[in-house]
């Protein structure tokens, strides 16, 4: 059984909550370069995960469409 659930809102909420909290707690320097590096790393991971999910679901939808076409030919 495969189950993958994506919730982009959660990802945005994570970033918008984590950054201010990490600055407030002192986990991240308040220098502009530190914040820029954090945002670049976050965006790289976000884009990588987005593309992985995009191609996964594109492949899955292609297989489903082929199954529908094959079942219509058999009827």
pLDDT in tens, 7-30: 555 566 666 788 888 889 988 888
Q: What is the pTM of this model?
A: 0.63
Classify residue 54: in a domain, yes or no: yes
Per DSSP, the three-state class of 38 is: helix
- Note the pLDDT of residue 2: 46
Percent of the chain with pLDDT over 70: 77
What's the length of the chain?
75
Q: Compute CA 61 distance to the chain's CA centroid, rounded to the nearest angstrom.
A: 18
Classify residue 17: in a domain, yes or no: yes
Number of domains the chain is built from: 1
Classify residue 13: in a domain, yes or no: yes
Q: Give residue 55's pLDDT band: very low, low, confident or very high (50, 70, 90).
A: very high
Classify residue 3: in a domain, yes or no: no
Mean pLDDT for the chain overall: 83
Domain residue limits at 67:
9-74
CA distance 71 to 38: 49
Q: Give residue 54's pLDDT band: very low, low, confident or very high (50, 70, 90).
A: very high
Classify residue 1: in a domain, yes or no: no
Classify residue 2: in a domain, yes or no: no
CA distance 57 to 12: 21
């Amino acid at each position: 059984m495969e189950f993958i659930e994506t919730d982009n809102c959660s990802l945005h909420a994570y970033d918008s909550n984590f950054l201010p909290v990490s600055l407030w707690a002192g986990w991240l320097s308040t220098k502009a370069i530190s914040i820029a590096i954090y945002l670049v790393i976050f965006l790289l991971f976000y884009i990588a995960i987005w593309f992985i999910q995009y191609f996964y679901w594109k492949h899955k939808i292609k297989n489903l469409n082929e199954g529908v076409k094959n079942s219509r030919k058999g009827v």
